[in-house]
Amino acid sequence: MELTQDLRDMLEGKYGEGAALALKVQIGVGECFNAPGMAPITNAHVALSNQEMDLWFAEKMVNLGARVKVSPTVNPGFCLSYFKRRHMVTDEEAEHMGRVHEAYKTLGCRLTYNCTPYMDTNIPFPNEIVAFSESSATPYVNSVWGARSNRESAQSALCAAITGVVPVYGLLLDENRKGDVLVEVKAKIDSDFSYNLLGYMGKKIGPGIPVFVGLPGHISPEAHRNLGAELNTSGAYAMYHIVGVTPEAPTLEAAFGGKKPKRAVVITDEDFKRVLATEISDPGNREIDFALFGCPHTSTKEVQYIAKALEGKKLAVPLWIMTSALTKSNVEKMGLLDVLRAAGGEVVEDTCSDQPCWRLYKGKVGVTDSPKCAYYPRKRGLEFVVRDLDTCLRAALEGAVQ
């Protein structure tokens, strides 16, 4: 692999052991994909998940003297002050989250603790080379913003932030960004929730870069977020195209680079019904114990919608909204936090659904509008019925879901 003199100096330890190790990791990744060299990045996002491996690697880099060259935004763990004050985590779990915080702070990361930075705090420009990990973030920056990132892990994205470079392969190259699977959508698309179901068609779509046709001309930021998140939950997609919508697909021919698709797939209402009934949701027609939203993190617009639906009413079960600190600050200023709390709901910042703070609902049944939210906490013993947002809110008010 061809390296500049500066990178050779880094590899030899001129900038410290931590930077040298980070570059060695990236060279290893690059060699797996026959990358000819490295390219500088201007932005990064690290999908820390508050797991043991996260902490081990971050603290190893700290102890080796590493500091980030490009300050990345980071994913959520859980809001330490909120859940510790309410005794919803053990002392050991609180200590662990505190160590995660200190490690990434020492490295010089932007401690946004938000899994949707592409919607407000970390928005790249078209063709900007970045290193984004996080299942909804990578397809969003590639597909919606037209930036260039491979499907990084939390560790490789942190290494990129430390070295300031990434190996040149995959979606950094023009020829690898073209679509190769035609996806004709005949299912009814009438809400942002529909894009959750469409994204969960990964098994039917199969490997490749999907090119969607048959979708509305205007697609909300939340719908794009949902589509990318669920594509990566049901498969492994770093990019998609929507003809006439996403920047690299003004036409069908442009989306495929003038080539024919490898295969064509048709998505129908029956597919939506099947995946909802058999893959992403526990059965309905039952009582519920809680409602949980915000995987990926809830937007201000969605909090507004929920608050309006609950204003002047009383919830039958606890309702939680996970979001960024920025969004929570905004909705508090707007008076929406008071509305939600009066109804019996709560907004929590810096928190993910796959965290120990939710153990109080182990063995219980909740509702959510996110298949991803239902998927990851299952290993912690939480059960979910997945429905559209209006049905979820009605269930939270009545204590039962249809």
Convert the pLDDT of each residue in 247-260 to its tens digit: 999 999 999 999 99
Say how far apart CA 315 and CA 337 lie, in whole Å: 15
Is there a single domain that holds both residue 350 and residue 248?
no
The residue out of 278, 305, 340 marking a domain boundary is 278
Q: At what angle do helices 336-343 and 300-310 cross, to 10 degrees?
A: 50
Is there a single domain that holds both residue 266 and residue 251?
yes
The residue out of 153, 172, 191 marking a domain boundary is 172
User: Count of alpha carbons within 13 Å of 329, Cβ hemisphere only?
Assistant: 5
Is there a single domain that holds both residue 226 and residue 130?
no
Is there a single domain that holds both residue 219 and residue 316?
no
Residue 387: give its domain's CATH number.
3.30.499.10
Query: Do 110 and 71 meet the contact criterion of CB atoms below 8 Å apart?
Result: yes
Say how far apart CA 105 and CA 99 lie, in whole Å: 10
* Verdict on whether the full-model pTM lies above 0.85: yes
The residue out of 172, 188, 208 marking a domain boundary is 172
Q: How many domains does the chain have?
A: 3
Query: Do 375 and 233 meet the contact criterion of CB atoms below 8 Å apart?
Result: yes
Residue type, 296: P
Say how far apart CA 99 and CA 104 lie, in whole Å: 9
**Which pLDDT belongs to residue 49?**
92
How long is the chain? 402
Q: What is the dihedral of CA 59, 65, 71, 75, to 10 degrees?
A: 0
Is there a single domain that holds both residue 306 and residue 381?
yes
Residue 46: closest CA among 154, 208, 197, 152: 154
Is there a single domain that holds both residue 65 and residue 198?
no
Computed over every residue of the chain, the mean pLDDT equals: 97
Which of 268-286 are b and which e, b meaning 16 or more Cβ less than 10 Å from the residue's Cβ?
eeebbeebbeeebbeebee
* Rounded (to 5) percent helix, strand, coil in the chain: 45, 15, 40
Q: How confident is the model at residue 112 (pLDDT cuts 50, 70, 90)?
A: very high
Q: How confident is the model at residue 97 (pLDDT cuts 50, 70, 90)?
A: very high
Residue pLDDT, tens place only, 19-33: 999 999 999 999 999
**Which pLDDT belongs to residue 65?**
98
Is there a single domain that holds both residue 267 and residue 322?
no
Residue pLDDT, tens place only, 313-360: 999 999 999 999 999 999 999 999 999 999 999 999 999 999 999 999
Residue pLDDT, tens place only, 209-243: 999 999 999 999 999 999 999 999 999 999 999 99
Is there a single domain that holds both residue 268 and residue 309?
no
User: Count of alpha carbons within 13 Å of 211, Cβ hemisphere only?
Assistant: 26
Say how far apart CA 2 and CA 5 lie, in whole Å: 10
**Which pLDDT belongs to residue 136?**
96
Is there a single domain that holds both residue 203 and residue 308?
no
**Which pLDDT belongs to residue 337?**
98
Say how far apart CA 295 and CA 363 lie, in whole Å: 20
**Which pLDDT belongs to residue 314?**
98
Is there a single domain that holds both residue 136 and residue 32?
yes
Residue pLDDT, tens place only, 261-303: 999 999 999 999 999 999 999 999 999 999 999 999 999 999 9
Two tokens, residue 73: 């935004």
Is there a single domain that holds both residue 160 and residue 21?
yes
Is there a single domain that holds both residue 151 and residue 134?
yes
Q: CA torsion sign, 378 to 384 to 385 to 388?
A: negative
Domain limits for position 298: 286-401
**Which pLDDT belongs to residue 242?**
98
**Which pLDDT belongs to residue 69?**
98
As a three-state string, the secondary structure of 294-335 is: CCCCCCHHHHHHHHHHHCCCCCCCCEEEEECHHHHHHHHHCC
